[in-house]
């Protein structure tokens, strides 16, 4: 990706204090974008934005609940007040709460649906209304998961939520294409992040059961994300790109390996 690929572009990325979201922000900023980096954790957001600025990127921390409509509107306002526009909105925030379907707590279900589905829907809605007003198009990207394509034990709620946002992207094609806004999803598989590295067996297990021989790095996911919000992908919309080293082709369970 060119170091000027996203010059004069403004992007919002939610759930970006670490992991995939942070790497997307880092790469966008490195390619010239001004990035509004959101995380619910104020310290994570501040440290992440500071790190990107130390690499000469333009990045503003914006801590808050990305499933709250008023907060989402404030992020849009921050982007517009800072740069005059919003070009890219990436709904990356997500929560994974494992649990057996038969005993899955209602409060866990509510949290998963609010963050994963409502947060994505509301960010998309607010971003599209701003982009429509601007009149020069834009790009939306949602972070789904391979669990939206392939059943995974104890992830009924999470997988349902990820499949739902892929359907949202398809449906939005009908409503936002007239405004020259495209919308796609990425569906990462096993990825090495701060969270997954807490599991000492994660790397070895997923290396054995992934055809490409390793889980993804955050750079693998972010590089695909940047393509889908770039000018090169303007005619791609309503699609989901699975980034999993081939795991969904054979889908072996990590619990059996």
The answer to whether residue 158 is catalytic is yes
Residue among 104, 158, 179, 202 flagged as catalytic: 158
Rounded distance between C-alpha atoms, residue 86 and residue 118, angstroms: 20
Return d(Cα 103, Cα 68) in angstroms, integer: 28
Region of 92 (left: φ > 0; alpha: ψ -120 to 50; beta: rest) is: alpha
Per DSSP, the three-state class of 22 is helix
**Cβ–Cβ < 8 Å for 168, 124:** yes
CB 181 within 8 A of CB 140: yes
Q: Give the integer Cα–Cα distance in Å for 162 and 22.
A: 20
- The rounded distance, in Å, linking the Cα atoms of 213 and 138 is 36
Query: How does DSSP classify residue 113?
Result: I
Q: Just list the catalytic residues.
A: 158
């Amino acid at each position: 990706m060119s170091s000027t690929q996203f010059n004069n572009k403004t992007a919002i990325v939610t759930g970006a204090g670490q992991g995939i979201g942070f790497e997307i922000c880092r790469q966008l900023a490195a390619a010239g974008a001004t990035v509004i980096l959101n995380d619910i954790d104020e310290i994570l957001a501040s440290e992440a934005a500071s790190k990107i600025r130390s690499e000469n990127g333009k990045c503003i921390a914006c801590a808050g609940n990305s499933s709250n409509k008023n907060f989402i509107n404030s992020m849009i306002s921050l982007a517009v007040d800072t740069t005059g526009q919003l070009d890219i909105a990436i709904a990356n925030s997500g929560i994974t709460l494992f649990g057996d379907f038969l005993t899955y707590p209602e409060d866990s279900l509510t949290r998963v649906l609010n963050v994963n589905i409502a947060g994505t829907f509301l960010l998309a809605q607010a971003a599209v209304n701003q982009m429509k007003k601007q009149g020069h198009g834009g790009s939306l990207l949602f972070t789904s998961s391979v669990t939206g394509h392939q059943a995974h034990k104890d992830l009924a709620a999470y997988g349902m939520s990820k499949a739902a946002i892929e359907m949202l992207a398809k449906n939005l094609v009908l409503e936002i294409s007239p405004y020259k806004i495209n919308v796609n999803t990425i569906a990462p598989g096993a990825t090495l992040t701060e969270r997954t590295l807490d599991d000492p067996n994660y790397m070895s297990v997923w290396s054995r059961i992934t055809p490409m021989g390793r889980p993804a790095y955050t750079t693998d996911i972010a590089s695909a994300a940047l393509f889908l919000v770039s000018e090169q992908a303007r005619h791609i919309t309503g699609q989901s790109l699975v980034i999993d080293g081939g795991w969904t082709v054979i889908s072996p369970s990590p619990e059996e390996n």
